Structure 1
């Protein structure tokens, strides 16, 4: 019977040890939960008191937006200048090609420009060299005089928009 009693005592002591371990871990969990829930409660209370942004935060955002707007304006201005220069370069090449084609087809040393036609003694039409090139089919239309002008000898002169 002693063997049975010692086995029973061992079993009870193992069971008590297991229960005490479980109880201590539950106690730790409860303490941790109470700590976390108290911290969460404090965080939630501070958030309820916040009604909006502070003046400093708003000023910082406004300054950052101003800096971004300034950078954007200067970047776009540079792109616009590049576009104008590209348009001038393209106009120059087109006019040079039209003048060369005119001289290749008609020969001579001058494009008949600045000609005033008279009808019944009255001036009817004044044509420039670029107008003659456009009428002859060498240009689709007469370019704006602010970009380039073509002299009768075929020389190109930059207008106010092209330098």
Structure 2
């Protein structure tokens, strides 16, 4: 196996494999958190929509004296 000269630039195959492995490990740790945040965001959006609907129904009741049929 030839030795690497100091004036050569680049990465060895082992260095690249280590970087890919580290990125894979970090991604496998991050994906569950991202999924969890998406679920929380969906739930928060649903709660906000229900709150808006409640406020609209209250405004309708105050204006018309009854709820819509």
Give the TM-score, by structure 2 length: 0.68
Establish whether residue 67 from structure 1 lines up as the match of residue 25 from structure 2. Answer: yes
Q: After the TM superposition, which segments of 4 or more aligned residues of structure 1 sit over 6 Å from their partners?
A: none
Q: Which one has a larger percent helix, Structure 1 or Structure 2?
A: 2
Shift of 1:99: 0.5
User: What number of residue pairs does the alignment pair up?
Assistant: 63
Q: Aligned partners of 1:105 and 1:54: how far apart in 2?
A: 73
Gaps of 5+ in 2: 6-10
Larger relative contact order (C-alpha < 8 A, sep ≥ 6)? 1
Of residues 40, 51, 69, the one that matches 1:93 is 51
Larger Rg: 1
Q: Which one has a larger percent strand, Structure 1 or Structure 2?
A: 1
Shift of 1:80: 1.4
Give the TM-score, by structure 1 length: 0.33
